[in-house]
Amino acid sequence: MVKAVVCGAAGGIGQPLSLLLKLNPIVTELALYDVVNAVGVAADLSHIASPAQVTGYLASQPDADKAFQGADIVVIPAGVPRKPGMTRDDLFVNAGICNTLANSIAKNAPNAFVLVISNPVNSTVPVFAEAFKKAGTYDPKKLFGVSHLDVVRASTFAATAIGKPGDADKYSIPVVGGHSGATILPLLSQAKPAIPEILNDKEKRDALVNRIQFGGDEVVKAKDGAGSATLSMAQAGVEFTNHVLDAVFGGKKGKIVQSYIDLGAEAGGEGIKKEIGSDLAFFSVNIELGPAGIEKILPIGQIDDAEKALLEAAVKELGPSIEKGVSFQPAPP
């Protein structure tokens, strides 16, 4: 019996993400939560013949807390998306929404696994961590910043750059760092299978790194004011969520993914701080999933000189974004 909650379920990401979660037979209860239209989306999805029983809750309902009660996992694509010309940092208005949701989770589902999609992820994950610390419910092994779309884009764009776009799902490229522009650090030197035709051509390599770092802008531009990536994010979000569900509730062992997480001593990230030469509190790293969530934080491993330069830039930009999230002060109720 697994209860999943989607916050922001009526949105561009929330709707397809809820649909895809409804199709996962591990999920037996699916609660959709939003400030608008969650009840309608729930009614619609409830007609699909799969195990999950779907309910919808508006934040304004007096019994809205029920959405969270007994939740095992909460996935959060709530908030405002980007418009052309905006960076993810311009979305810090979402910090208030994240803080409110964190308080509802702490009160009603203190043991839930929490997956944060809301941007700017580099700052909103620290907002969640701080709110949980204040509430006394924080477990860093259960808090994930979802940077998986960067990993999906890396596979797709690498296959395209090599001239084999149909083989996108055959390329695996770890992406570490953060989830915004220069903080996104694709480790092309660790690609599987190896991509020497890109690594040995500086122009192609720089272009591929740039496309992975700024791929989100392509969608923002093409949608021309109607938002940012929603369908690819929903797919990436559910792929990541399903990995967590499989590890925690499905007994699957040894799955390694990348996620933007707390490197605090409690979570075992001290080794990463040595590797990146910085004591950043949050970073996207390789993690092994298990019943506790983040079972192990794994080393970044060997990187080449080009990646060392990118790492330096990523670390520099991440520091202030993390600080902004950590020091966020919610408006008084």
Q: How far apart are CA 185 and CA 168, in angstroms?
A: 19
Nearer to ligand NAI, 35 or 256 (CB): 35
Q: How far apart are CA 40 and CA 165, in angstroms?
A: 38
Shortest spacing between CB 94 and ligand NAI, in angstroms = 5
Shortest spacing between CB 176 and ligand NAI, in angstroms = 15
Shortest spacing between CB 190 and ligand NAI, in angstroms = 21
Residue 145: both structure tokens together? 């910043």
Cis, peptide link before residue 81, omega less than 30° from 0: no
Element spanning 258, H or E = strand 256-262
CA atoms within a 13 Å half-sphere pointing along the CA-CB vector of 271: 11
**What does the CA dihedral 293, 74, 68, 63 come to, rounded to 10 degrees?**
170
**C-alpha distances out from residue 82 to 132, 231, 237, Å:** 27, 15, 18
Nearer to ligand NAI, 80 or 306 (CB): 80
Nearer to ligand NAI, 42 or 198 (CB): 42
Phi and psi of 113, rounded to 5°? Answer: -80, 135
Shortest spacing between CB 163 and ligand NAI, in angstroms = 27
Q: Which residues bind ligand NAI (CB under 6 A)?
A: 7-8, 10-14, 33-36, 59, 77-82, 91, 94, 97, 100, 117-119, 121, 146, 149, 179, 227-230, 233
Nearer to ligand NAI, 146 or 287 (CB): 146
Burial of 225 from C-beta contacts in 10 A (0-12 / 13-18 / 19+): exposed
CA atoms within a 13 Å half-sphere pointing along the CA-CB vector of 50: 18
Can 243 be counted among the known catalytic residues? no
Shortest spacing between CB 45 and ligand NAI, in angstroms = 15
Shortest spacing between CB 89 and ligand NAI, in angstroms = 11
Instruction: List the catalytic residue out of 47, 148, 179, 243.
Output: 179
Shortest spacing between CB 293 and ligand NAI, in angstroms = 18
Pairing of strands 3-7, 143-145: unpaired
Q: How far apart are CA 123 and CA 113, in angstroms?
A: 18
Cis, peptide link before residue 77, omega less than 30° from 0: no
Asked if residue 183 lies in contact with residue 321, where contact means CB atoms within 8 angstroms, the answer is yes
Q: How far apart are CA 9 and CA 76, in angstroms?
A: 8
Nearer to ligand NAI, 67 or 159 (CB): 67
Nearer to ligand NAI, 33 or 132 (CB): 33
Alpha-carbon Rg for the chain, nearest whole angstrom, is 19
Nearer to ligand NAI, 31 or 161 (CB): 31
Taking CB atoms, the residue at the shortest distance from ligand NAI is 11
User: Which residue numbers are catalytic?
Assistant: 179
